[in-house]
Amino acid sequence: MQFMLGLSAAISVRVSNELGAGNPRVAKLSVVVVNITTVLISLFLCVVVLVFRVAIGSGWQAVVAYVNLVTYYVIGLPIGCVLGFKTSLGVAGIWWGMIAGVILQTITLIVLTLRTNWTSEVENAAHRLKASANESQEMATEGV
């Protein structure tokens, strides 16, 4: 997502510069090039996800959301506010608080990953995948 955001910002600057320089054809070409590039990158990433089945059926979304909520928003941001507004650190204190939250989040996720029983996770994912396939098959049968 960050890569696409970078492309968006770059093309915005490029088109603005070309329009300001009075080059409408170059501005249009720039938009076409970035759109083609974006589609190609998206298709490549889609193929990678489909071929390698990245995170399909993992079921960890809620756990990661809670870890993010607690470590960053409940711990990191309040630390940043205290360091930024109650000490002489100012903006640097806010950044240190946010960095502390991200570091704590990373450590928590690493610990969760290392303590995971991956054999059990494979079995759970296979069960969810089978249940999802059965549900899709039932929906297809009902639709006929």
Distance set, CA 53 to CA 18, 45, 49, 50, 113 (Å): 41, 11, 5, 5, 19
Q: For residue range 39-86, list pLDDT tens digits in order.
A: 898 889 878 877 776 755 556 778 888 998 999 899 999 999 999 999
Q: Are 110 and 67 in contact (CB under 8 A)?
A: no
How is the chain split into domains, by residue range? 2-52, 61-143
Q: Are 83 and 94 in contact (CB under 8 A)?
A: yes
Sign of the Cα pseudo-torsion (99, 102, 105, 109, in order): negative
The two tokens of residue 136 are 């899709």
| The pLDDT value given to residue 58 | 57
Tell me, what DSSP letter sits at residue 87? S
| The pLDDT value given to residue 59 | 64
Write the CB contacts of 48 (distance below 8 Å, at least 6 apart in sequence): 54
Region 104-111: mean pLDDT is: 90
Amino acid, res. 85:
F
| The pLDDT value given to residue 143 | 67
